[in-house]
Amino acid sequence: MPPTAFHVAHAAVATWLLSCGLAAAGQCDRLLPVPTMTAQAFGAPVAWRHSLRSQSLGALNPRGQGGHTLGLTSAILYHDVVIEWSLQDTPAGTCVRMASANLRIGYKTRTVDVAAEIPSGSCLEREVLAHENRHLATGEAVALESVSWITQDLTRFARTAPAMLFRRGDSAGIHLWMQQEKDRLGATITPDIDTLAAEHERRQQLIDTPEEYARLGAVCGGEARRLPGLNPLYRSR
């Protein structure tokens, strides 16, 4: 029977108990190998915009304090998991085990905005883009670094993934158990994703310092201070 792919959704882990004879369970363990678990980072293409005015960007800035924003990088953190299952018919019944799980971690969308007041090709635009590119690179680095610790948790999960024996034709029982295993995997992954999100935010805040904001207000001969419509906040993130 060919493997079936599923996407894992966030869910609370279910409490479950299935029992079968020790001999039959041992037979399933021998027939079906321990699952293969992988994790990989990915990044969505970047949308570059130069159409919103600085005050509009200030309103969109999640850490802003009002006022005007020179540049803004927005990203939606995203992950999904594709699971495949192994099923093997035996004289005693059908053996079922998770065959593999592939976790993808990264950003579903990424957008970089430069305030419309900043002239294209100007010195200030280059400085703002350099700042925003630091945000992009930091996000990519955090996602890539997370692969290591998440893979360790996936490997530990694989060691506990049971091989179960079901009566032949018990599709309802098999699918119920598969969902319980998917939920158990989701509960394993969720704390890692939360850690990734927190580390992403922490690293981004290290870029957006008062000193960096002051620098952007002073670079290029104080170009930001001379542009109509900008006030002394000169925020960029």
Q: Who contacts 234 (Cβ-Cβ below 8 Å, separation ≥6)?
A: 68, 70, 213, 214, 216, 217, 224, 225
Indicate whether 156 belongs to any domain.
yes
Indicate whether 73 belongs to any domain.
yes
Indicate whether 51 belongs to any domain.
yes
Indicate whether 166 belongs to any domain.
yes
The CA-based diameter of the chain, rounded to the nearest angstrom, is 82
Radius of gyration for the alpha carbons in the chain, expressed in angstroms and rounded = 25
Indicate whether 53 belongs to any domain.
yes
Indicate whether 1 belongs to any domain.
no
- The secondary structure of residue 175, as a DSSP letter, is H
Q: Would you state the pLDDT for residue 24?
A: 53
The range of the structural domain enclosing residue 173 comes to 6-236
Q: Would you state the pLDDT for residue 212?
A: 92
pLDDT at 52 over 70: yes
pLDDT tens per residue across span 109-144: 999 999 999 999 999 999 999 999 999 999 999 999
Indicate whether 195 belongs to any domain.
yes
Indicate whether 230 belongs to any domain.
yes
Name the domain count of the chain.
Answer: 1
In DSSP terms, 69 is beta-bridged to 235
Q: Would you state the pLDDT for residue 17?
A: 30
